[in-house]
Homo-oligomer: A and B are copies of this chain.
Amino acid sequence: MQGLMQDRPLEIGALMRRAERMFAHKPVVTGTVGGETTAAWGEVIGRARRVGAALDTLEVPVGARVATFAWNTQRHVELYLGVPSTGRVLHTVNHRLFTRDLAHILSDAEADVVFVDRSLMATVWDVVAETANVRWVVVMDDGAPGPLPDDPRVLDYEELLDRIPQGRESTHSVTDENAAASLCYTSGTTGRPKGVLYSHRSIVLHALLLLGADTFGIRERDVVMPIVPMFHVNAWGLPYAALMSGAALVLPGPAMKPQELADRLERHRVTFTAGVPAIWRGLEPLLATHDLSSLRMIVSGGSALPETLSRAWEEAIGLPISGSWGMTECSPLVAAGRLASALDDRSADERRSLVGLPGPTVPLVDVRVVDDEGRPVPYDGSVSGELQVAGPTIASGYLGTDAGADSFTADGWLRTGDIATLDEYGYVRIVDRTKDVIKSGGEWISSVTLENGLMDHPLVQEAAVIGVPDERWGERPLAYVVPVTGADLDETELRRHLAGRVASWWVPDRFAFLDQIPKTATGKFAKAALRSRVRATDTDHRPL
């Protein structure tokens, strides 16, 4: 027996109509180098409709991929709305990827049109120009200097929109909520980047999740500043959540220096912001000179949140940083940091640590941890295994390839490649990446735990730990450490610091000091690069 409820699709166009009706007056601010621009949501949505109509005039078919190389800007929001609401697929691309990966992504996705911020043209033009399927390159002029390529495919964004008569709309709209809405490639730490294809349904459900009081609680009176880039995983869905809730949106644009971010957070009385730990680390020295008392939630993701960092923020502004956990394949949010009421009696330090964990899982997302035979382990917070995820906001495969087939179980769950525990309150605790965990004497050592332990030391800026082959134990940990500038730090002090924090046999055998840890394009530790370094330097005494 079927229910008798209206068959209305969950789709981005419906969010636009509602926001136009209720939130047209709310602001969308974009940072520029040395200034900023402001438009109302109503104007942004109106311009997004013209984007959709412009794609009609460019004869971009429904289902075609429309790629973007852009900062967090108003125009990027216009593309977030105008492209998918007219049936095309928004394909955000991370311009920081290696040229080789960029070329692969653009041709793999068969991008039909590419929108590029003028300040990024110099970075991406060579790759874009050589991609066979790209018919048009639309430049969004953000005032960056330098000439534009003399190429007939190059158009100007504002001229394109100016050609659309006021009130003209695309002839296309979306009636199937399972239609593709946007595309984002994984960062490719485990091979070539693979395309994750979000549907209208997954995007709308994910935005609803972000409005949940126990997730991010995004609401109309929020001022949301996504520092996480819009070129990766839809900026964690925050632009869509702001549209759905009517929150004001403050976008940093290319002005991503800590001083610029801190000024903007203060000036606009931002209430909610999200970014990776490196952002919070960079802002930390500015907390004493900025009034950030308007913030009610700061979410950190992308990698583990160092305890010391959250403590420093709480001491400076009275608010700890919240952890989170997600993946490109998961839209991305799976777990959001909060304190379960059963843990209210913990000490202030423990409560801050709990909030900084990935947190309990969000509604609609099902998680399990399985042992080596694929059997679920108890939700007891102690037995670890591979974390697997299922739900309507989780990928079922990758675009145009079965290369990722081993990322899914026989019953259709996503294998995250992370080793984790789950406890009885739903907290996810990431022990390590499957490929980063160190197997020593038949037992596991968590590289993440060692890194967090090292980064708790006040003189450690960053630390990355990898396993290196060892004849007796199989593997042993090697720690790369970046000391705080000018700090006097040695191996003995680090050993003393780790004693009591981790089991004695976890303490790394070797320490190496670096000026910086190599990073991937999305800001994660590039452990593959560190392992290559070991292979290169160790060939004298160990065959690999």
Q: Which residues of A contact B (CB under 8 A)?
A: 1-8, 10, 14-15, 17-18, 21-25, 62-63, 89, 176, 178-181, 196-202, 204-205, 208-209, 211-214, 217-221, 244-245, 338, 340-342, 360-361, 363-364, 366, 379, 390-399, 412, 414, 422, 424-426
Contact = CB atoms under 8 A, between A and B. Distances in A.
Nearest to A208: B208
B245 A4 contact: no
Contacts of A15: 363
A402 B205 CA distance: 33
10 contacts: A3-B197, A3-B199, A4-B395, A4-B397, A4-B399, A6-B394, A10-B392, A21-B379, A211-B213, A220-B341
A424 B398 CA distance: 42
A204 B10 CA distance: 13
A89 B1 CA distance: 9
Given A18-B426, A22-B426, 19 more contacts: A1-B63, A1-B179, A2-B176, A2-B199, A3-B178, A3-B201, A6-B391, A6-B392, A6-B412, A6-B414, A7-B392, A8-B394, A10-B392, A18-B366, A22-B424, A208-B209, A208-B212, A213-B217, A213-B219
Given A3-B180, A6-B395, A213 B208 contact: no
B398 A202 contact: no
Nearest to A176: B2
A214 B208 contact: no
Given A361-B22, A366-B17, A4 B396 contact: yes
B391 A180 contact: no
Contacts of A360: 22, 220
Contact of A396 (B6, B18, B395, B399): B6
A394 B363 contact: no
Closest 9 CB pairs of A and B: A3-B199, A22-B426, A1-B63, A213-B217, A221-B341, A213-B219, A4-B197, A211-B212, A214-B219
Most B Cβ at <10 Å: residue of A4, A18, A245 = A4
Contacts of A8: 364, 366, 390-392, 394
B201 A21 contact: no
A213 B218 contact: yes
A18 B245 CA distance: 26
Given A213-B212, A219-B213, A341-B221, A426 B21 contact: yes
Contact of A4 (B17, B366, B391, B398): B398
A449 to B, nearest CB: 24
A379 B178 CA distance: 31
Contacts of A399: 4
A5 B178 CA distance: 8
A211 B363 contact: yes
Contacts of A244: 363
A301 to B, nearest CB: 20
The number of times this chain is found in the oligomer is 2
A14 B200 CA distance: 21
A89 to B, nearest CB: 6
Nearest to A217: B213
Nearest to A368: B21
Nearest to A206: B5
A421 to B, nearest CB: 13
B180 A392 contact: no
Contacts of A196: 4
A3 B391 contact: no
Given A4-B398, A22-B424, A424-B24, A366 B14 contact: yes
A19 to B, nearest CB: 10
Contact of A2 (B180, B218, B342): B180
A220 B214 contact: yes
B1 A180 contact: yes
A463 B4 CA distance: 36
Nearest to A408: B6
A218 B211 CA distance: 11
Contacts of A213: 211-213, 217-219, 245
B220 A340 contact: yes
A63 B1 CA distance: 5
A178 B208 contact: no
Given A22-B360, A213-B211, A363-B211, A5 B395 contact: yes
Contacts of A23: 426
A123 to B, nearest CB: 28
A425 B199 CA distance: 29
A222 B397 CA distance: 37
B363 A6 contact: no
Contacts of A414: 6
Contact of A394 (B5, B181, B426): B5
Contacts of A6: 390-392, 394-396, 412, 414
A24 B62 CA distance: 46
A7 B25 CA distance: 37
Given A18-B363, A178-B2, A221-B341, A424 B392 contact: no
